[in-house]
């Protein structure tokens, strides 16, 4: 089997590529235009494998997408390429509209044209797996969970762009009979995460003895999914999911932001103690993000029931592994920090201020 993975040099994409090649012996073509958050170093473990190929290309480039399908003849597509940082989408929504919506359209058209050339078993087995987010559903109150039947109600430019791309994929499945499957996941974390998301920001700020920012009161709740668990779920959906269906993928690990950060501080205290005080002393409450959704929670019972998948890593286990990885891989994140403007506060017109 050969799969074309878009965004394979990103955080989740690289986890999928590594697992596909190393654990499943699947041939992978990684298509990535290498934007700021992409990093080919994430793929050092598989870059020399005969099962791995890399194409530097933008999914918005129709000619390049057509060429890549023709040259590599994939059996399936896993579409992960996207702009994904909510704060960046507040400051610059245009890039999110262009990449996440227009890019998905171009890729769908290329996949459709390629699919129409297939016949027999290859046509029967082909599928287009679109990887999305639970943020398309909007915000939950104190109770309830998102299911596959939850209505879409995106609240940020990022989530709106992903919701639109989800709808495009569904439409291509219905109108053009492109064999599609969609998945919506909760917040991912783990090794190789670009240091602009909450968990790596906390870890690296703590190690640098800088303030650890908490948006607002820190009571916003997220379900946390370890990235290797997610990669396993995505490959399960790709190979066993029912065409035309949506699968929600969650970690069964709901935690408020403030409790998550406090847990990280305790783990850091254990793994690399400060010379003076505790890491929690660095926690600083800052102005909240505009339109900050209060709570996300995933009901992942469908994928467990139908595909026999469930998360294997608790948030306590995953956070401890993640902290240890950042401590052991300083060269990886130092190289990213050397580019500058990494970890700075985005998404507000005014500079970060204490509450």
Any domain includes 136? yes
Q: Which of 158, 215, 279, 296 is catalytic?
A: 158
Any domain includes 221? no
115-143: b (≥16 Cβ within 10 Å) or e: beeeeeeeeeebbbbbbbbbbbbbbbeee
pLDDT tens per residue, range 165-175: 999 999 999 99
Rounded Cα distance, 189 and 197, in Å: 9
Domains: count for the chain: 1
Q: Which range has the worst mean pLDDT, 33-42, 69-78, 308-317, 333-342?
A: 333-342
pLDDT at 344: 60
- Asked whether the beta carbons of 207 and 289 are under 8 A apart, the reply is no
Q: Which of 135, 228, 232, 299 is catalytic?
A: 135
- Please give the residue range of the domain that contains residue 65: 2-188+226-251+296-313
Query: Who contacts 175 (Cβ-Cβ below 8 Å, separation ≥6)?
Result: none
Any domain includes 332? no
Rounded Cα distance, 285 and 29, in Å: 43
pLDDT tens per residue, range 200-248: 999 999 999 999 999 999 999 999 999 999 999 999 999 999 999 999 9
Any domain includes 28? yes
Report whether pLDDT(287) > 80.
yes
Does residue 316 carry a catalytic annotation?
no
Any domain includes 39? yes
Does the CA dihedral 122-124-128-131 come out positive or negative? negative
pLDDT at 293: 84
Any domain includes 7? yes
Any domain includes 49? yes
Q: Which of 55, 83, 134, 254 is catalytic?
A: 134
pLDDT at 355: 30
Does residue 158 carry a catalytic annotation?
yes
Query: In this structure, what CATH number is given to the domain that contains residue 78?
Result: 3.40.50.720
Does residue 288 carry a catalytic annotation?
no
- Asked whether the beta carbons of 15 and 80 are under 8 A apart, the reply is no
Any domain includes 112? yes
What is this structure's pTM?
Answer: 0.93
């Amino acid at each position: 089997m050969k799969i074309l993975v878009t965004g394979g040099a990103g955080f989740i994409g690289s986890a999928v590529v590594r697992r596909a090649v190393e654990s499943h012996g699947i041939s992978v073509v990684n298509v990535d235009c290498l934007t700021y958050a992409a990093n080919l170093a994430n793929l050092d473990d598989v870059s020399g494998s005969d099962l791995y190929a890399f194409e530097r290309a933008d999914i918005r480039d129709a000619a390049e997408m057509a060429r890549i399908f023709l040259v590599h003849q994939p059996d399936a597509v896993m579409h992960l390429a996207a702009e994904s940082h909510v704060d960046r989408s507040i400051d610059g929504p245009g890039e999110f509209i262009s990449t996440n919506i227009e890019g998905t359209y171009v890729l769908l058209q290329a996949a459709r044209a390629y699919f129409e050339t297939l016949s027999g078993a290859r046509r029967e087995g082909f599928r287009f797996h679109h990887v999305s987010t639970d943020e398309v559903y909007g915000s939950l109150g104190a109770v309830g969970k998102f299911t596959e039947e939850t209505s879409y109600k995106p609240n940020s430019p990022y989530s709106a762009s992903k919701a639109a791309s989800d709808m495009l994929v569904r439409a291509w499945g219905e109108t053009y009979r492109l064999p599609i499957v969609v998945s919506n996941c909760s917040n991912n974390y783990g090794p190789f995460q670009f240091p602009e998301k909450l968990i790596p920001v906390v870890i690296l700020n703590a190690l640098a003895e800088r303030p650890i920012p908490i948006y607002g009161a820190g009571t916003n709740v997220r379900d946390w999914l370890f990235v290797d668990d997610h990669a396993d779920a995505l490959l399960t959906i790709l190979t066993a999911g029912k065409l035309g269906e949506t699968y929600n993928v969650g970690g069964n690990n709901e935690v408020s932001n403030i409790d998550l950060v406090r847990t990280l501080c305790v783990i850091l205290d254990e793994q690399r103690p400060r010379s003076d005080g505790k890491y929690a002393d660095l926690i600083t409450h800052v102005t909240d993000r505009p339109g900050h959704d209060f709570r996300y929670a995933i009901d992942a019972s469908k994928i467990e029931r139908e595909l026999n998948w469930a998360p294997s890593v608790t948030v306590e286990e995953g956070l401890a592994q993640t902290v240890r990885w950042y401590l052991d891989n300083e060269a990886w994140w130092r190289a990213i920090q050397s580019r500058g403007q990494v970890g700075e506060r985005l998404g507000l017109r005014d500079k970060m201020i204490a509450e």
